[in-house]
Chain A
Amino acid sequence: MRLATRRTFAALLDPFGVAIAEYERERAGVRILSPIVEPGTNPTAQAAAERLVTLLQSRGVGASPVNIALSGFGAVSHTMMIPSAPPEVLEAVVAREVERIFGIVDPVVAFSVARPRERRSRRRTADDHPLPLRLVVCGAPRALVDAVTEPFHASGLRLETLTTLAPALARLLGSLEPAGSAAAIVATAFGRPFTAFTVDGDLALQLEPPHAPANVLAALPLLATEQVERGLLFVRQQFRGAAPARLIVSGSADECDALRQMSGGTVSGLPVAVHPADPPEAAILVGTALEAERRDALSFVARPERLGGRLRTAIGVSALTLLLPFAAALLLMVTSLVLAAAVQGAQRDQATLRQHIEERAATLGALRAVAARRAMVDGERTILAQARAEHGTLATLLARIAFAAPPAVQIDSLTLRVDPRGALGTVTAHAVSVSGAGAITAIETLYAGIRGLAPGTTATIGDLAWGPAAGATDSTRTAVAVGVEFKVPPAAAPVGGGRGVPAVPSSEVPR
């Protein structure tokens, strides 16, 4: 499955030829497309690089990334054990060791820390020294690196990774051999065998043939056998007897057959598993591509960062963290400006509304005068109606008192006093009859009439005073005088003053 559309190349630079292939990333690894192999002696690494650049340009390759594995030219691969050290000093230590071991002045190094491998039988305590570091190291003279990179810079091609053959073989072996303790591979390029051993997935040893063209070297099976035997001895000694279960042989079909037929299908006692490749250098190109696809690929040149990484580098993660409060503050300031604009808008609204209120209130003076006039007229009408009702009530009360007296009763006097408690009155009267009972009946009628003056009226009758009727011509007529005090409640009395009830409902007053 094709995962990306950009073109990516893997290349091998060897003193005896160059090989290149475009590859595609797949979910399970990479797939080589139309590899090109050009055998031929390359006197210098720069000549090989220029040859490769020419090859790419002739096929119209522009700025596509190119990943190169170097074989020979002074580039070395090595595994080393060093005491535990902080990461920041490791590069200096490794460079010094490469300079010391290989005699390379001003080396460029690339290294990775392999999985720690405990060689002691007893458990390591906190007081013991920490496990030593096992490093996989690639080194090359700086002049070599410059010689390879210069043609790429001059042509505008992108050299993404530049490594040695060892990491490429380790990746190739990792993709072919199931996970195990130790594994071995012999891969051929330009007719020369290259052998690599891995332990726990990390490179343990890589062996190259002597610097001579294939035709002057011993037969390839013999060279390979010698490399395998040396490697087996090294791995067994350095990794507590570790040994691969079989030997992967990758090369042309003829090369694979030649190696498989040695000693009846074994090489140094290892069963041979052939992995034919066409051309044989394609297997190494696959390993180069696999190594290049790793984020921590061993490379002598810095991998050009992608846009996100370049931005992160340019700004800095810590700078982003530091800028965060300022960004939030900027956001708040913008919010403040928006709020300030809203406040100004509200103040403008207030000014407009105040102007409207003033304009409307200016016309209210006349309205208020009319309203006050109407209220005053209402009040005066109310009081007028109240006064008239008061006088009418008193006249009605007087008429009812007169009506309360039957014909046999004559009212002699009447006093009435009006106050807020009601009307308090006293009536004195006398009745004349031929019988005492008749006279009392008349008085009783008067009394009942007074009590019925208005609802709630109370009356008190005084003692009866008997005597002869004034002006009587016979002795049978008799007279009785009596005084009756009464009280008419305020609701029915002509009580003056107080708060008037509107005579006419305000709603009916013409407005």
Chain B
Amino acid sequence: MSPARVTPQRRWDLTVLVAGLFVLAVSGWVVLRAVARLSSERAEVAQLRSEADRLLQLRSSFVPPTRAESLAWEAADVDARALGVDPAERLALARTIARLAENAGLRGVQAQFIASDTLGVEPRTAAAGISYQPAAFGLRLVARGSYDDLQRLISRLPPSVTVRAMSAARTVGPPEYRLVLGVFVRPEGPS
């Protein structure tokens, strides 16, 4: 069609048609945006609903501690105090070990602090981030007595120590025993 045949009416029609197509395109774009937005909003709703349900389930499945459990916790607290020592209380530990040895039947008990860097003691860890680290000191114990006394001592040692080395030597009189003990410190903060 030559340009001369484009009448004003036809030009108006074309203008209206182009405008209609433009409005149609804009409307289509708006619909697509709305669909995408709705999709993301619904995904967010689903996630929040899942979280709310999880919290609800958590709360409904929670069993409050009973009296017996509270008492068990207190007992566990007492036991837990033996799992480690305060480095400032190492003399008390030495005294405890010496007393345990003498109570086990050993005689001539001598306790001595040693450095722990060669003992190769690994921390004691458990779930919930609980960790008892080795102390910077160890304990060397020298005593005499029967082999049974030695076994009795070892079985009565507190959980805050670990036997890293021992030796027994027959000499004149009762055998002499040397024990090298690693020590664990109590973690800082409330236990």
A residues apposed to B, CB below 8 Å: 318, 321-326, 328-330, 332-333, 335-336, 339-340, 342-343, 346-347, 349-350, 353-354, 356-357, 360-361, 363-364, 367, 370, 372-384, 386-388, 390-392, 394-395, 398-399, 402, 410-420, 494, 496-500, 502, 510-511
Check if B16 is an interface residue, CB within 8 A of chain A.
yes
Residues of B within 8 A of A390 (CB): 162-163
Check if B34 sits within 8 Å of A343, measured CB to CB.
yes
> What separation, in Å, do the CA atoms of A165 and B79 have in the docked complex?
128
Closest Cβ–Cβ distance, residue B90 to chain A (whole Å): 18
Residue in B23, B80, B167 whose beta carbon sits within 8 Å of that of A416 in the complex: B167
Q: Which residue of A lies closest to B162 (CB)?
A: A496
Contact with A along B1-31 (1 / 0, CB 8 A): 0000000000001001100110110111011
Pair A399/B151 contact, Cβ less than 8 Å: yes
B169 touches A413 (CB 8 A): yes
Kindly list chain A residues whose C-beta atoms are within 8 Å of the C-beta of B157. 391
Q: A7 CB to closest chain B CB, in angstroms?
A: 41
Which residues on B sit within 8 Å (CB–CB) of A321?
Answer: 17
Contact of B167 with A322 in the complex, beta carbons under 8 Å: no
> A394 contacts which of B28, B58, B163 (Cβ < 8 Å)?
B163
Closest residue of chain A to B125, judged by CB?
Answer: A499
A415 and B159 in contact, given A325-B21, A340-B34, A399-B151 (Cβ under 8 angstroms) = no
Cα A399 to Cα B146 in complex, Å, equals 12
Q: How far is the CA of A103 from the CA of B56 in the complex (A)?
A: 102
Contact of B24 among A329, A398, A496 (CB under 8 A): A329
B69: contacting residue among A330, A363, A382, A510, CB under 8 A: A510
For the complex, what is the distance from the CA of A205 to the CA of B127, rounded to whole Å?
117
Contact, CB under 8 Å: B155 / A377: no
Q: Which 4 A-B pairs have the closest CB atoms?
A: A497-B122, A325-B20, A496-B162, A387-B159
From residue A238, how far is it (CB to closest CB) to chain B in Å? 39
For the complex formed, measure the closest distance between the CB of B167 and the CB atoms of chain A, giving whole angstroms. Answer: 4
Residue B42 CB within 8 A of the other chain: yes
Alpha-carbon distance A255/B49, docked complex (angstroms): 99
Task: Using CB atoms, name the residue of chain A closest to B12.
Answer: A322
One of B26, B55, B191 near A360 (C-beta < 8 A): B55
**How many B residues, CB 8 Å from partner?**
76
Q: Are A360 and B80 in contact (CB under 8 A)?
A: no
Most chain B CB within 10 A, of A392, A394, A498, is at A394
29 of the cross-chain contacts (CB-CB < 8 Å) are A322-B17, A323-B20, A326-B20, A328-B24, A328-B27, A330-B27, A335-B34, A343-B41, A350-B48, A356-B52, A364-B55, A367-B59, A367-B62, A370-B62, A373-B65, A376-B128, A378-B126, A380-B130, A383-B83, A387-B159, A388-B159, A395-B154, A413-B167, A413-B169, A414-B166, A414-B169, A494-B163, A500-B125, A510-B66
A379-B127, A411-B170, A497-B121 provided; 14 other pairs, C-beta below 8 A? A323-B20, A328-B27, A335-B31, A346-B42, A364-B59, A370-B64, A375-B128, A384-B80, A392-B155, A413-B168, A414-B166, A418-B164, A418-B165, A497-B162
Residues from chain A with Cβ under 8 Å of B73 in the complex:
373, 377
Report whether A346 and B124 are in contact in the complex, using a CB–CB cutoff of 8 Å.
no
Interface residues of B (CB under 8 A from A): 13, 16-17, 20-21, 23-24, 26-28, 30-31, 34-35, 37-38, 41-42, 44-45, 48-49, 51-52, 55-56, 58-59, 62-66, 68-69, 72-73, 76, 79-80, 82-83, 120-130, 132, 134, 147, 150-152, 154-157, 159-160, 162-170, 182, 191
Q: A383 touching B168 by the CB < 8 A rule?
A: no
Contacts of A350 on B, CB cut-off 8 Å? 41, 44-45, 48
Residues of A near B163 (CB, < 8 A) are 390-391, 394, 418, 494, 496
Q: Which A residue sits closest to B65, measured CB to CB?
A: A370
Cα distance A416–B165 when bound, in Å? 5
CB of B30 within 8 A of CB of A336, answer: yes
A413–B123 alpha-carbon span in the complex (Å) = 31
Is A383 a contact partner of B159 (Cβ separation < 8 A)? yes
CB distance from A413 to the nearest CB of B (A): 5
Q: Which residues of B contact A386 (CB under 8 A)?
A: 124
Shortest beta-carbon distance, B89 to chain A, in Å?
A: 18
Q: From known contacts A336-B34, A375-B128, A499-B126, infer whether A381 and B76 are also in contact, taking CB-CB under 8 Å.
A: yes
- A residues in contact with B132, CB < 8 Å: 383
B147 touches A402 (CB 8 A): yes
Complex Cα–Cα for A359 and B151 (A): 58
Given contacts A372-B128, A384-B159, A395-B154, are A367 and B58 in contact (CB under 8 A)?
Answer: yes
Cβ B17 vs Cβ A339 within 8 A: no
- B45 CB to closest chain A CB, in angstroms? 5
Instruction: Tell me the bound Cα distance from A420 to B154 in angstroms.
Output: 19
Q: Which residues of B contact A417 (CB under 8 A)?
A: 164-165
Min CB distance A470 to B, Å, is 12
